[in-house]
Every structure is written in C-alpha cells, then in structure tokens.
Amino acid sequence: MLSDAFPLQGEETDSGAASGRVLARSIESPRPIPAFNRSAMDGFAVMSTDIRHAPVNLALIGTSLPGAPASQSVSPGKAIRITTGAAVPSGADTVIPIELCDASQSSVLVRSPLPPGKHVIVSGEDFQKGQTVLQAGHRLRPHDLAVLSAMGVARVNVVRRPLVSILVTGNELLPPFSTPKDDRISDANSPMLQALASRDGALGKTWPGVADTERDVVSALRECAQSDVILVSGGSSVGQEDHVPAAVAKLGSLEVHGLALRPASPAGFGRLASGTRVILLPGNPVSCLCAYELLAGKYIRLLAGLSSDFPHALLRLPLASDLVSEIGRTDFARVRISHGEVEPVAISGAGRLSTVVQADGFVLIPPEIGSLNKGDEVVVRLF
Amino acid sequence: MLSDAFPLQGEETDSGAASGRVLARSIESPRPIPAFNRSAMDGFAVMSTDIRHAPVNLALIGTSLPGAPASQSVSPGKAIRITTGAAVPSGADTVIPIELCDASQSSVLVRSPLPPGKHVIVSGEDFQKGQTVLQAGHRLRPHDLAVLSAMGVARVNVVRRPLVSILVTGNELLPPFSTPKDDRISDANSPMLQALASRDGALGKTWPGVADTERDVVSALRECAQSDVILVSGGSSVGQEDHVPAAVAKLGSLEVHGLALRPASPAGFGRLASGTRVILLPGNPVSCLCAYELLAGKYIRLLAGLSSDFPHALLRLPLASDLVSEIGRTDFARVRISHGEVEPVAISGAGRLSTVVQADGFVLIPPEIGSLNKGDEVVVRLF
C-alpha cells in the first residue's frame, strides 16, 4: 500500500500560515540577502585603507541608522557612526566596533587595525539572488518562516493536506462524547482518528455514524469518494454485521483483508473505483489505534509529503518483565516506563481502553521474534 | 524567571477540540466503563455451569448484536448468539468464540470447556465509576480523546493557552513577507516567534512594528499589558536606538539585561507593573531564535502546563570537527548531521540566516566547557 503513496500536488498558501507544511516547490531567493552591505556591529564605518596603520584619528561626518541611512559617502580620513543592521555607506568597507574606539562628537580615534571587510555583511553574503534556499520536500520550521519573510517570499507552494474522511460503523454507536445509554456506546474512534490525522498533516472530516448494513456502508463510502483517504472503523471483521469488506469490493477492490497484527488482525485496505484509498480499521478503539499507527498513519504521512517513519519520540530501555508474542505476527504492546525500565501494560485486552491510557508508549514485536525477555533492550515509541 | 512560572488557570473546552491541551483538573469516570457486560468476541453467550463438562449441545434462543441486545435471558441448556461489543444477556457469564463451536440454526455444539467469565468484559472492568482516569497536568493524546468520548465526558477543564504578544521594534522594518526596499528589511522575527509560540502551546498575537523611540516602545508595551507574556524583539542592546530596557524599567522592572549566551547576549527580562512578563529578544533573527529557545520557550511552556524541557527530538552523535567556545558562556551552535557525524555550521554569524536554514539542529555548549573536540559525543536537538 505504501509503495503507491506519493506527496499530493502543491497548492499556494500564505507563507505566514505555512509552518509545518511541506514545500512542493523549492524556494529560490528572489533577491540577494542582505540586499545591501550592512553592519554587524554598533561602531564606525571606515575605509580599511585608513585604518591599516591605526591608531588613527578620523573625522565623523554623519550617522547611518537602520531605516535612516547616511546621505554622505566615506572618503579618506572620514568615518560615519553606524549601528547594527544599518547600511554601510558608500566608500566604507569595514566597521570598527564602538568598544575599539574613543569617539567625541566630531571625531573618532581608532585604536588598532582590523582586516578589511570586518563586521560588514556584504550584499548577497547570506543568500545570492536565485540561490536555492529551501528544497522541495522540506517541512517548514519556525525559523524557515523568518527566512521566507526576509526574502520577501509571501506565498509558497506546499503539498496539499490529504483530506481524510472518517467513517465509523455500528448500530450501537452514539455520537462522540454522548452519554452512554443501555447498551449504546459513544463513538470513541472518530475523535481519536481526527486527532491522529491532524498530527500526520491531514485534514480529518468526521462523518455521522453509519448503520451496520451493506447498503448504508456503500452509500457512505460513495459520499466520501472525493477524499484522498477513507478510514472506516468497525464492521471489518468476519461476523454477520461486518459489511465493510464486501462494500469496498463492490465499489472498487479489496486488496488486503486480515493482517498478522495483534490487536488489529481484521484491518485491511482497498480502493474505490474513483481511486480513493480505503483503509479498514477495527472498531475496537485499541485495535483501531494499532491499525492506524501501523498502516493508516504511514500512508497519510506519505501523501502529506512527510516521512512514513513513526513520528513518536524514542527511548531505548530494558524490559522489566517478559513480553510474550508469537513468531509470524507483529505485536503492538502497550508499555509504561517506570524506574528506567519498560513495563508491559498489555498486548491483548484490545477491548480495554485502560491499556492505552495507562501506557506511555508502545513496543513493536516484529514477526520474526517469538517473545522478548526481561532485561532485553527494546525501543519504546512514546505516545 | 522560570521559578515563578506556573500553569495558567483552567478553562472549559469541548473534549473534541482538546487534543494536545493540558488537563487543569483530573478526569474521573462518571460511569463504569463498559457500562454493561460486553462480549469481547463473536460467538455464543452461555452459562459457565453448562459448559463445565463440554462437549455439550445447547439450544439457540436468540441473538445479541451491538445496539440490538437480546430480549431473552440465558437459562440452563440455552445459548444466545452474540457478536463483539454486544451486551451479554442476563444469565450468561461466558462467551464461547465461534471458532470453538459447531452451530446450526437452532443449536450449538460447544466442543470444549472454557473458564467462567472468559471473553466477557464485565461492567466497570475498564474504568470504575469515580475512578481517576487522567490526572491534572496530563497532556491529552489522540487516544485519550477516545477515552473521554467513551466515558461521555464532553467538556474538559484545560490549562488556558498563554496569550503571547509579539512586538518587533526597528525603523528599518517592513511588515513580514514584504518586498525589501533600499535599506528597509522585512520583519523576519514575528512569523518565527508566532510559530514558536504556537508550538509551545501559546496563542501568539503579532502587533504592528514599533518605531525606535522610547515613547513608541512604552506605548506599545502598555497596549499589550493584558497578555501573559510580551516578547519584544530588537532594541534590547546598548546602542542609541535601544529603548526597550529603559521602557520596561519605566513601566515596571527590568530584572535581567544581558546574558552570557552566544549569539543572544542582549537578551533579558522584566515585568510590567501589571504583572505581565516581558522577555527581551535580540532583533537579529538568529539571536532571536536562540534567546527564544533558551529563555522564552521554557517560560511559555511552563505557563501552558507543559515541561520546560526542550521539545526537540534528540540525537547523540560524535562531532566531525572541533566546536570552539569559551568558559563562562553558553553557546547555541547550529549544526548539520552528515554521515552520522555532527558538523558545526556556525556559532557566530548571528547576522546570517543561512546558518539556521542549513542546520538540522543545535548543540548547547554549557558555560563550564571551553571547547568541544572532534570525536566528542554531543547531544543534538533537532529543529
């Protein structure tokens, strides 16, 4: 599934709103930065030839401030007072910091020589006109916005956010955060999937709950056919109420159904005839989280131009007790960190939300490993 | 400064919008979860006393589906068809998975015994009524929203986001992302600070640029007195255009001005008489980033209820070349990761935005260390 996931096409957006977005096109500097020779210090702009044999006394003929450049040029024997960021006046090529001088109102004594060009940032020294500053595929960081602003790049072309439709099926489901009543339970997966999709650079759209009939599932899938990805939670197992696999097959193709993954074995994926990717997630919230992280999240991040790698911070610590698994199956083990050790919370118990609430993260046990033993070092991905 | 930073007071918000927010009050489950005995498997609900001596044949008297519970009770010799998540009918205490049975329309052969209670999640097994499920101070993760939804907790009390006013001073500044003209440059710091404040859980508010006069700075600070934090960039050095320290002193107190920090030595902080924290950041974008990360970000995260620890992912790798610093000063060295080694991009060159754009992260050289040598292992915090 991941092999056909490519970053979506670019769209224009305001640079000021682009933090965290991924560039679809590289950014070249439209002008040299700085655009003029600027002083890196508070001091005096001089000709380097004048100070070669310092100490030397120079006449002060003006001031250059940021936003108020000197009208004068510097000629031999002359200097201009200057502050950090101000334009270095024509004629001058060097700035002597204030602390290396003794200045009066009308003259300045430069106490010792400095190399030519010192403390002057020459036009184009930071970025030349036309230079590629940020590459396509780069995710914009806060300080990249500073650079875009400095270059006067007001709009950028960024990878479009994937539109992810979130469908939950189940006659027992009430809307998210409802008060449960009798055997009706509140939809727990939509808000979780919405937050996960947002974390992964997508725009999630939660649809109203879908009844457990093939007709209702088919009709709901059809309504979402304009999105890039449809996440369907529930109805993906093999029970009499599990209509999602058949509905996907009817509207396109069901490519994979059933994974050697605990606790998310009923997960799968396919495509609508429209091309929209459908990912089947178990209805059980813990299994749904597992299938999202191991399957859907990776796919969505690739569409968003991000890495398919897990976004979680990592810790490498020893196991406090054995972690039992089986060869041939990947296990998503919820774990807690305690006293520098990794305590298993649960592998099974997919029906128990407490196993993820109490966990600090998860450990993946790959299919080639049977079980892990107390003391083994494992990689924990932090929730 | 950090010693007086505490999480802001709580505010109510919709649980569905609370991902990433920090709980101001602990969450107790208002009801047992699950609220009824539910099946963890597709199969048959039975009395455990009936299957103690399996194989045994039981009469099928009904079906329990999620959202459509059985109207019948299970009595001796009887069983009810059930699917995952459905209510276990009264009388039954155990669910036999479908794959351990041979069923016809009217009866089911249970092939082997199972312990009483197997595959039934008893009401309250996940969370008991009144049990503390999430503690105050906890930052809500996507799956915590699933738990809030399952419990029917529609509103939560979360730490208010700090309101951070962003002021930039400088006569040379044009609005962010403007086309630079002559010696006028675009304000690079506001968009960067806005994105950084947002990363740290705050609501940033960018104000129009402020002219380099004490009167203008005083008046702008007064306008921001309702915010929790004011970040003022520029005008914090000791030049003739640096009016911020005096303005802060006039409106309250300037507590610290000047830090042993490269490249952000003109940074500082104080308070307005209103209590609003003011943090002075250098106008130079690279220095501004450094002072934000080492000073402002930590303070803002504490107000937001987060950890003052840096939020960056870490790598521990050897230095590809020496990194020169000085004892008594903290250095914010921009570095690149290349072939598993850490290459210094720059420590000085604060005027050059290219030094942060080309960098993958930063290394802090603490004041007690003079210089670091090629081959030394360092901690890189990734941008």
Q: Do B172 and A67 touch (CB under 8 A)?
A: yes
- Classify strands A203-206 and A163-168 as parallel, antiparallel or unpaired: parallel
Percentage of chain B surpassing pLDDT 70?
98
What pLDDT is stored for residue A111 in this prediction? Answer: 95
- State the Cα–Cα distance between residues A62 and A79, nearest whole angstrom: 8
Asked if residue B7 has pLDDT above 70, the reply is: yes
| Residues contacting residue B191 through CB under 8 Å, at least 6 positions apart | A15, A16, A19, A142, A145, A146, A148, A149, B176, B177, B206
Residues 6+ apart with CB under 8 A from B198: A19, B204
Q: Which residues of A touch B21 (CB under 8 A)?
A: none
Per-residue model confidence as pLDDT tens digits over B285-333: 999 999 999 999 999 999 999 999 999 999 999 999 999 888 999 999 9
**What's the DSSP call for residue B340?**
T
Q: How many residues does chain A have?
A: 383
CB contact under 8 A, B149 and A186: yes
What average pLDDT does this structure show over B223-227?
96
Best B119, B127, B149, B288 member to test A by mutation, with max A CBs in 10 Å, is B149
Q: What is the pTM of this model?
A: 0.94
pLDDT tens profile A284-324: 999 999 999 999 999 999 999 999 999 999 999 999 999 98
The rounded distance, in Å, linking the Cα atoms of A63 and B246 is 23
DSSP string, A111-154: -S---TTTTEE-TTSSB-TT-EEE-TTPBPPHHHHHHHHHHT--
Best interface-test mutation with B: which of A357, A360, A362 has the largest number of B CBs within 10 A?
A357
Question: Across-strand partners of A256?
Answer: A269
Q: What is the DSSP letter of A22?
A: B
* Cα gap A164→A202, rounded to integer Å: 7
In the prediction, which pLDDT does B59 show? 98
| Tens digits of residue pLDDT in B62-121 | 999 999 999 999 999 999 999 988 999 999 999 999 999 999 999 999 999 999 999 999
**DSSP designation for B9:** P
Which site among B236, B357, B381, B382 would you substitute to test the A interface, given the most A Cβ atoms closer than 10 Å to its Cβ? B357
DSSP B181-199: BTTBEE--HHHHHHHHHHH
DSSP codes joined into one string, A146-178: HHHHHHT--EEEEEPPPEEEEEEB-TTEEPTTP
- Cβ pair B85:A238 closer than 8 A: no
Output the pLDDT for position B162.
98
A241 HSE (CA, 13 A, CB side): 27
Tokens 């790049």 -> residue:
A153
Nearest-angstrom CA–CA distance, B233 and B288 = 7
Q: What is the rounded distance in angstroms from the CA atom of residue A207 to the CA atom of residue A219?
A: 12
Kindly report the average pLDDT of chain B as a whole number: 94
Q: Which residue of A has its CA nearest to B125?
A: A352
Which residue in B184, B196, B353 is closest to A126 by CB distance? B353
Residues of chain A found within 8 Å of residue B200, distances taken between Cβ atoms: none
pLDDT at position A235, please? 84
> What distance in Å separates residue B61's CA from the closest CA in chain A?
17
d(CA A331, CA A324): 9
DSSP state of B47: -
Cβ <8 Å between A66 and B170: yes
Chain B residues touching A66 at Cβ < 8 A: 170-172, 183, 212, 241
Nearest Cα of chain A lies from the Cα of B268 at a distance, in angstroms, of 18
pLDDT of residue B44: 97
**Which chain A residue lies closest to B131 (C-alpha atoms)?**
A354
Q: Which two tokens stand for residue A262?
A: 């605990």
Check CB contact under 8 Å for A353 and B143. Answer: yes
Could you read off the pLDDT of B236-278 as tens digits, one per residue? 776 667 899 999 999 999 999 999 999 988 999 999 999 999 9
The span from the CA of A2 to the CA of B1, in Å, is: 48
**Chain A, chain B: beta-carbon pairs less than 8 Å apart:** 274
What domains are defined for chain A? 2-31+135-159 (3.90.105.10), 38-121 (2.170.190.11), 163-303 (3.40.980.10), 314-382 (2.40.340.10)
- Of all residues in chain A, the one with the smallest CA distance to B42 is A239
In DSSP terms, B256 is beta-bridged to: B269
| Subunit contact B183:A67, Cβ cutoff 8 A | yes
- Residues in a beta bridge with B63: B81
pLDDT, position B81: 96
Locate tokens 């005083």: which residue?
B218
Chain B residue numbers touching A212 (CB-CB < 8 A): 65-67
Q: Distance between CA A46 and CA A110 in Å, rounded?
A: 10
Residues 6+ away with beta carbon under 8 Å from A153: A15, A27, A30, B177
Q: How confident is the model at residue B346 (pLDDT cuts 50, 70, 90)?
A: confident
Task: Please list the ranges in chain A whose pLDDT falls under 70.
Answer: 238-240, 347-349
| Chain A residues lying within 8 Å of B176, measured CB to CB | 16, 149
Per the CB < 8 A criterion, the answer to whether A205 and A190 are in contact is no
Q: Report cis status (omega within 30 of 0) of the bond before B34.
A: yes
Distant-in-sequence, close-in-space partners of A9: CB < 8 Å, separation ≥ 6: A24, A159, A160
Smallest Cβ–Cβ distance between A150 and the set B40, B149, B186 belongs to B186
Residues of chain A found within 8 Å of residue B285, distances taken between Cβ atoms: 143, 146, 150
C-beta neighbour count of B274 within 10 angstroms? 13
Interface test with B, best of A183, A314, A356 (most B CBs within 10 A): A183
Give the contacts of B309 (CB within 8 A, at least 6 positions apart): none
To probe the interface with B, which of A143, A147, A281 has the most B CB atoms within 10 Å? Answer: A143
pLDDT greater than 70 at residue B61 = yes
Closest CA–CA distance from residue B189 to any residue of chain A (Å): 6
Query: Token pair for residue A119?
Result: 């403390």
Q: CB–CB of B93/B76 below 8 Å? A: no
CA nearest neighbour of B67 among B53, B83, B44, B51:
B83
Please give the pLDDT value at position A119: 94
